[in-house]
Structure 1
């Protein structure tokens, strides 16, 4: 099997943070002969768009991205080249694979050995510290890409590779048991609508929090959330969570919203022994929680940052089995700037997937 690799391609490039995205038709493609052992080249079918990509374009996180930058970290495509000298590659030419936020980790340091590959000291981040998936061809690493099984479309798998993996891992480590109550602020968004479904596969009872009728229909009527709270209509979210749960509050909260209020409220509506899984990343907000009640109620606050290779395989396989459905709209790569605008205004329900 052989492929003809072009010299140039279409790519969405941020020349300087905060200056917008330019779609170029002459961005260079890394050639097969330039790949190092262990590297591979992926011809992308599609890529998801994540709120993290917007932060990368704006450069508003404490750790700045590289520039110029090709963003994106939810790509699915076909392996079209593998670096000469690669030994025992887990993928071969023609395989369909996914590219995640964690583009590379060494797999040998202490954090990698403990399953915290996302905290590897040598980590490379797709679409942040290394060019990502808003291009037709992307260089990656054979030991880090995720095999995509049959039973799931490339478009759906793209969103699972970041949004799905992130919420799946958070729920996995939330110390919940079947029939426990979990609150999901931002439930109608890209991460949240997948969190609703993964929570239901784990046997949890879901309280979805978001705003607007479109997101209510998505969370309750399509995804099966057990209860709904519209934050634009409800004056006291803490009291409403306690009412729904019969008084004591929820067992866990997975906060996917970028609003700092989502974190502050969670400590108040969690029951004794509850767990707050912090997932959403506001650019500059701080977590303001009552230390007294955090201690007095034995609350656990845990930061959950994407997931490792095993989390990704599990999340994709669950989705491929039909238990998790990704609600997305497809747009061409050229419309990325408009997608960013809608993301910033909170207008998107589900996910946006860009076609190449």
Structure 2
């Protein structure tokens, strides 16, 4: 099978011919149809984060495909099922996080395309219990970005506890942000989209954003304060200064939801103590979502509540695609089609 492999953090990915893997105990073999390119895949390929994957490995955690074979002991999946392979590849199911509905915090978790091989390949093996059914009404091209960008921003809006008519600012309108705009609207938020690209701000307006701010030409804090401030800021950007701007734009009782993860070398976010305390600000870290969250994301899309903006690519364009994402030349999400 063809696979895109990280062999060294300083080198481009290599397209290799690898044997089709065999599903082990409790696993399924999935013939991939699509896989989205997430910024996390780029961080993985470059070794940007403190806990690094070990080359050689295959990235990809927005994989969608059809179960081709099932391993020993698998009773929850059948050959022919269309499933998604998400970031959460495995959790223990026994710790207090798992049993309380926070499996994404499990300390024993395995992550697709990071600690175990992912879906930048024609076939991938995955834990049968942790793949998620893709409804027939959701196309493989749409399902791929929903598998991470969708479930990540959906969870961020959930943990923010957005109430109807609250002002919600989305900082960064890209692969994640264009979906965050829609989830904020679904729960009744009045949405402010912030970006440095007029094309992406136009996309946000087309998806229902009530206000837009170009942070390249306008002070975003002043522009948001002119709107009365915001109750919730969801930051999908990966620049620490943007988190600080989002914090500064919050009203009393506001919530800052941190989603984007910058490279380790970009330094920390500065958090002022007095405004945090005196304004009653909450700072919330939100990381992806559970299997149930992803099921809900697919159900909403199948019901016509969301639109996915994605451009198809082929796997042999993987390095060009990474360059395009880093340069901001993509409309929202890139999806490899097999």
> What are structure 2's unaligned runs of at least 5 residues?
none
CA distance in 2, matches of 1:355, 1:61: 28
Q: Deviations over 1:146-181 (max 9, x none)?
A: 100121111101100100000000001102201110
Structure 2 residue 147 is the aligned partner of structure 1 residue 164:
no
CA distance in 1, matches of 2:288, 2:158: 12
CA distance in 1, matches of 2:103, 2:149: 17
CA distance in 2, matches of 1:74, 1:150: 17
CA distance in 1, matches of 2:167, 2:261: 23
How much has 1:17 moved relative to structure 2?
1.3
- Give the structure 2 partner of residue 4 of structure 1: none
1:268 to 248, 251, 267: 248
Structure 2 residue 286 is the aligned partner of structure 1 residue 304:
yes
> What are structure 1's unaligned runs of at least 5 residues?
1-8
CA distance in 2, matches of 1:185, 1:159: 19
- Give the structure 2 partner of residue 214 of structure 1: 199
- Give the structure 1 partner of residue 63 of structure 2: 75
Structure 2 residue 215 is the aligned partner of structure 1 residue 241:
no
- Give the structure 2 partner of residue 320 of structure 1: 302
Q: Deviations over 1:252-306 (max 9, x none)?
A: 0110000111110122110111101100001123121211101110000010011
Structure 2 residue 278 is the aligned partner of structure 1 residue 293:
no
CA distance in 2, matches of 1:256, 1:90: 34
What secondary structure, in the 3-state scheme, does the structure 2 residue paired with 1:163 have? helix
CA distance in 1, matches of 2:249, 2:299: 33
Q: Deviations over 1:13-70 (max 9, x none)?
A: 111112111111x212113xxx333111100001000000000110011111121011
How much has 1:237 moved relative to structure 2?
1.2
- 1:180-191 alignment to 2 at 5 Å? 180-187=166-173, 189-191=174-176
The two structures have a TM-score, normalised by structure 1, of 0.92
- Give the structure 1 partner of residue 86 of structure 2: 100
How much has 1:239 moved relative to structure 2?
1.2
- Give the structure 2 partner of residue 23 of structure 1: 15
CA distance in 2, matches of 1:144, 1:18: 31
How much has 1:347 moved relative to structure 2?
2.1
What secondary structure, in the 3-state scheme, does the structure 1 residue paired with 2:317 have? helix
How much has 1:104 moved relative to structure 2?
1.0
- Give the structure 1 partner of residue 181 of structure 2: 196
- Give the structure 1 partner of residue 103 of structure 2: 117
Mapped contact 1:66–1:130 kept (Cα < 8 A): no
- Give the structure 2 partner of residue 342 of structure 1: 324
What secondary structure, in the 3-state scheme, does the structure 2 residue paired with 1:28 have? coil
CA distance in 2, matches of 1:212, 1:320: 30
How much has 1:193 moved relative to structure 2?
0.3
How much has 1:109 moved relative to structure 2?
1.6
Mapped contact 2:231–2:253 kept (Cα < 8 A): yes
Q: CA RMSD in A?
A: 1.0
How much has 1:125 moved relative to structure 2?
0.7
- Number of positions where the alignment pairs a residue of Structure 1 with one of Structure 2: 336
1:136 to 109, 122, 140: 122
1:226 to 210, 233, 243: 210
How much has 1:316 moved relative to structure 2?
1.4
CA distance in 1, matches of 2:86, 2:197: 30
